[in-house]
Amino acid sequence: MPHATSKRRRIKPAPRLITWRALRISLLMLLLAMIALSAWLTRQHATDWNRPLWVVAFPINADGSAVTAAYIDTLTRESFAPIEQYLTEQARGYGVTRTAPLEIRLGPRLAQIPPALPYAGSVLQVVAWSLRLRWWAWRAAGAYDGPPIDVRLFVLYHDPAISQRLDHSLGLKEGMIGLANVFADRTMAGSNQVVIAHELLHTVGATDKYDPATSLPRYPDGYAEPQRIPRYPQIYAELMAGRVPRSESAADIPTGLGNTRIGLVTAREIGWRK
C-alpha cells in the first residue's frame, strides 16, 4: 500500500486587534500630517506677496503678574501698527508695491504658555518639541474667530521687575509660528517691536545674521550698509542681525525699528528680491 502522508494545516494567527492607544497615535499622526500640509501650502504662497499675510498676535501673561496683566489690557491693534508700517516701507524699497506685506490683528489673550524648547535636548527631543508646539499653536489659534491665519504670533509679556533677562524668542518657518518674549513696559515698546518684527521675518524664511557665539553681526550680510565708508560706526542694524555695529568687536542693541533696516540677503530670503 502506498505510504500515506498527512499534510499539516497551518493555523493562521488571529489578526491583532488595534488598540485604543495605537488608534489615537495614528489619528494624531494623520492630524499632524494634515497640519503640516496646510502649513506647507500656506508657506508656498507667503513669499509671493500678492496679498497681505494675515498675522494674529496672541498676548500671553508669561509670569502671571498683575503688572503684566494690566499692560496686556492696554494693547490694541494700533499697538502693532508701527511694525506693519515699517515692513511696508522696507518692502517698497525692494519694489514690492502691489500690496502691504502683512496685516497684524490682535487676538484674544491666552492663558496657556507654549511648550518650552529643550535647549540642551537631543535632535529627537527638539523634533518632538516642534511637533508639540505646532499642535499647541493650532489648538490655541482656535480661540480666534476671524479669517484664516497665515502667521500665528504668540507674544509672551514679562514684568521687567521680575525678569530682567528673557529667554530667546523664536520664529519657525515650519508652521509659520512666532514666539516673542518681550517686556510689559511702555518704555520698551520700541525694542519689543524689533523683537516681534525679527521673529515675523523668521516665519517667512529669513535667517539670523549674527555670530551665535558673540551675538555680533556677521559681515557683510549682517550689516545694513556693508559698503559704507568708513565701515564703522554703522548707523542702522540689519533687522536679522539685531545689533548696530560700532566696531569689529562692539555693537549696540537698537531701541526701535527706526534704527534698523532689512538688508539685501534677507530681502532675497523672504522673496522681496529675486
Mean pLDDT (whole number) for 193-202:
98
User: In the predicted model, what is the mean pLDDT of residues 4-22?
Assistant: 58
User: In this prediction, what percent of the chain has a pLDDT beyond 70?
Assistant: 88
Mean pLDDT of 151-176: 94
For the chain, what percent of residues have pLDDT higher than 90?
69
Predicted TM-score (pTM) of this structure? 0.84
CA distance 125 to 3: 65
* Higher-pLDDT residue of 28, 196: 196
